[in-house]
């Protein structure tokens, strides 16, 4: 018993001395010397340790180490408020603040029940003294040390590190700035940052329809393997139709912000040849939306007979045509890219060629309608942050009677910061519309208002062989709140 006590006493004093030595090394030794002493410590005690440490170096030779970059991105989201010290910074090009580890501070992470300890070891390099006697630090080098129990080496290499790479990719995709591409100079896309703030929360639309659309988009994004299995290009088409000012373009931006997809806004009037169209479409990146606004006015798409004649006439055979567009959408382009959304907008669905509307091409037909009570509530909450007001009942009654677009309603709401004044103006506009007898609902012109109908569901054409295929053509003739 005495001897056990003696050994424990010795062990405790060795541990205490080791801790004291480690503190002295960390606090007082210069960087270079500290690294040498650390590696000697690790060699000595590593023999008895049950832990294993992976070193992830910032640079490998002259090139940067992708795993180091991914670890930094991943760890930035794992910084916990319990940590004693961490670093924050804001880059000019980013909207938000980024977090990162500070030298030697420990971060504990868990994955599949395994505990991981992360530590950043940084090393200043290229220290130079300038004329004033100050040091200028050209850059910072270093590495991460990732420590875990030896028995989890396989899990770490086979699952944890790939998980970090995957997560870092997702974080980067979520943080990147979206782009809006336009084909102003016939042959190529020019790009700007897409900064439209529209979201599905601020989009005035009947709640059930919004839910249906969001579910459809989410289902599409999650079905990569399914599309592969059935041998179908991973793309989906949406046709947005409805009067001017009902939010079709706003919807497109909300969709891009929700999916984190870039928008390719194709102006067909700039494209005169099928070959140019083909080049533009092939030049699109994955995770993107092809948008053709006002498809009915873009080009003479109505007359496919004329199309056929042009094709037989040599001098016209490369002229842009409906069949050219449809061929690319169906075939060549779809096989060369993934995660594509195609959106056509129009004020006049009835003017479109049936070939554009057939299932499999435009999978979902969405009617953007006049403003009803639900849309009004969304708009008034967007612009004045209120849920209730004594004037609501009367306004909602009027909205059921007359046709006012969300754009008209939004414009009135924006006219004053004083909600009473804004609502008064809106009420006047709606009363004038009613008294003029213009745009009255229920006059038979537009029987889609005030109802949400999922007209039919059926398997997509050309997929009869796949019994499991439940892709649906959902025609939503609907909407006004
Ligand atoms: N459903 C809506 N939700 C929120 N805001 C809307 C909605 N509809 C219209 N607005 C407002 O009206 C403006 C015009 O809407 P938008 O350009 O999206 O209409 P549109 O249907 O694309 O019209 P057009 O057919 O003329 O292209 C938008 O900037 C937005 O402020
Ligand atoms: Mg528009």
Nearest Cα neighbor of 252 from 268, 266, 233 is 266
pLDDT, mean over the chain = 79
Residues 362 and 454 in one domain: yes
Q: What is the pLDDT at residue 479?
A: 34
For ligand 1, pick from 201, 242, 246 the residue to mutate: most ligand atoms within 8 Å of CB. 246
Residues 123 and 139 in one domain: yes
**In-domain check, residue 205:** yes
Nearest Cα neighbor of 481 from 198, 245, 203 is 203
**In-domain check, residue 156:** yes
Residues 339 and 199 in one domain: yes
Q: Is the ipTM of this complex over 0.95?
A: yes
Instruction: Return d(Cα 264, Cα 179) in angstroms, integer.
Output: 8
User: What is the residue with the minimal CA distance to atom 27 of ligand 1?
Assistant: 244
3-class secondary structure, 145: strand
Residue 10: which H helix or E strand, with range? helix 2-28
Is the CB of residue 406 less than 8 Å from the CB of residue 204? Answer: yes
Domain limit, last residue, from 175, 207, 223? 175
The CB of 442 under 6 Å from ligand 1? The reply is no
Name residues with Cβ closer than 5 Å to ligand 2, which is an ion: 248-249
Residues 410 and 324 in one domain: no
Instruction: Please give the structure tokens belonging to residue 172.
Output: 């980067």
- Measure 247 CA to ligand 1 centroid, in angstroms: 3
Interior CA angle at 460 toward 458 and 462, to 5°? 135
Residues 167 and 299 in one domain: no
452-454: strand order across its sheet: 188-193, 179-185, 262-265, 288-292, 340-346, 235-241, 364-367, 474-478, 452-454
DSSP 60-110: ETTEEPHHHHHHHHHHHTT--TT-S--EEE--TT-SS-EEEPPTT-EEEEE
Residues 170 and 195 in one domain: no
Is the CB of residue 123 less than 8 Å from the CB of residue 96? Answer: no
Q: What is the pLDDT at residue 13?
A: 57
**In-domain check, residue 323:** yes
Note the pLDDT tens digit of each residue in 347-361.
998 888 888 877 667
Instruction: Return d(Cα 323, Cα 309) in angstroms, integer.
Output: 12
The CB of 183 under 6 Å from ligand 1? The reply is no
Residues 380 and 362 in one domain: no
Residues 417 and 275 in one domain: no
**In-domain check, residue 291:** yes
**Nearest ligand 1 atom to alpha carbon 371:** 1
Q: What is the pLDDT at residue 465?
A: 32
CATH number at residue 324: 3.40.50.300
- Measure 460 CA to ligand 2 centroid, in angstroms: 28
Residues 406 and 329 in one domain: no
**In-domain check, residue 21:** no
Low-confidence ranges of the chain (pLDDT < 70): 1-48, 92-95, 124-140, 186, 299-317, 331-337, 359-360, 438-481
Residues 328 and 189 in one domain: yes
450, 292, 320, 188: CA torsion to nearest 10: 180
Cross-strand bridge partners of residue 337? none
The CB of 250 under 6 Å from ligand 1? The reply is yes
Instruction: Return d(Cα 312, Cα 314) in angstroms, integer.
Output: 6
Domain limit, last residue, from 122, 147, 175? 175
Domain limit, last residue, from 131, 160, 175? 175
Q: What is the pLDDT at residue 453?
A: 33
Is the CB of residue 118 less than 8 Å from the CB of residue 106? Answer: yes
Q: What is the pLDDT at residue 282?
A: 84
Segments forming the whole domain that contains residue 416: 373-436
Q: What is the pLDDT at residue 132?
A: 53
For ligand 1, pick from 206, 210, 247, 263 the residue to mutate: most ligand atoms within 8 Å of CB. 247
How many independent structural domains does the chain possess? 3
Q: In which residue are the tokens 């294993």 written?
A: 52
Is the CB of residue 333 less than 8 Å from the CB of residue 436? Answer: no
Residues 53 and 121 in one domain: yes
């Amino acid at each position: 018993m005495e001897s056990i006590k003696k050994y424990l006493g010795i062990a405790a004093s060795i541990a205490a001395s080791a801790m004291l030595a480690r503190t002295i090394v960390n606090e007082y030794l210069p960087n270079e010397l500290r690294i040498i002493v650390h590696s000697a410590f690790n060699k000595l005690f590593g023999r008895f340790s049950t832990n294993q440490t992976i070193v992830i170096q910032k640079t490998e030779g002259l090139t940067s180490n992708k795993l180091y970059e991914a670890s930094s991105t991943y760890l930035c989201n794992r910084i916990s408020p319990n940590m004693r010290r961490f670093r924050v910074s804001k880059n000019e090009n980013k909207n938000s603040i980024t977090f990162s580890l500070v030298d030697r501070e420990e971060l504990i992470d868990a994955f599949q029940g395994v505990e991981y300890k992360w530590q950043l070891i940084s090393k200043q390099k290229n220290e130079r003294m300038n004329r004033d006697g100050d040091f200028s630090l050209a850059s910072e080098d270093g590495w991460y040390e990732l420590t875990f129990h030896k028995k989890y080496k396989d899990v770490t290499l086979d699952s944890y590190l790939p998980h970090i790479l995957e997560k870092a990719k997702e974080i980067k995709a979520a943080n990147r700035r979206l782009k809006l591409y336009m084909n102003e100079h016939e042959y190529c896309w020019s790009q700007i940052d897409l900064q439209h703030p529209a979201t599905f929360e601020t989009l005035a639309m009947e709640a059930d329809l919004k839910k249906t659309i969001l579910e459809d988009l989410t289902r599409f994004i999650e079905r990569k393997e399914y599309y592969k299995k059935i041998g179908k290009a991973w793309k989906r088409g949406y046709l947005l139709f409805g009067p001017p000012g009902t939010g079709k373009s706003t919807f497109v931006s909300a969709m891009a912000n929700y999916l984190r997809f870039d928008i390719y806004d194709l102006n067909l009037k700039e494209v005169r040849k099928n070959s140019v169209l083909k080049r533009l479409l092939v030049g699109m990146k994955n995770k993107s939306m092809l948008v053709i606004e006002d498809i009915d006015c873009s080009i003479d798409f109505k007359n496919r007979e004329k199309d056929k004649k042009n094709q037989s006439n040599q001098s016209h055979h490369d002229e842009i045509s409906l069949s050219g567009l449809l061929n690319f959408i169906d075939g060549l382009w779809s096989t060369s890219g993934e995660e594509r959304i195609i959106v056509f907008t129009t004020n006049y669905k009835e003017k479109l060629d049936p070939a554009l509307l057939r299932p499999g091409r435009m999978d979902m037909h969405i009617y953007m309608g006049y403003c009803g009570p639900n849309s009004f509530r969304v708009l008034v909450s967007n612009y004045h942050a209120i849920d209730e007001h004594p004037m609501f009942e009367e306004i909602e009654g009027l909205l059921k009677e007359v046709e006012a677009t969300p754009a008209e309603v939004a414009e009135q709401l924006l006219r004053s910061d004083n909600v009473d004044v804004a609502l008064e103006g809106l009420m006047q506009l709606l009363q004038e519309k009613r008294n003029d007898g213009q745009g009255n609902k229920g006059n038979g012109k537009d029987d889609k208002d005030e109802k949400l109908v999922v007209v039919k569901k059926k398997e997509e054409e050309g997929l009869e062989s796949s019994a499991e295929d439940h892709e649906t053509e959902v025609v939503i003739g609907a909407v006004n709140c």
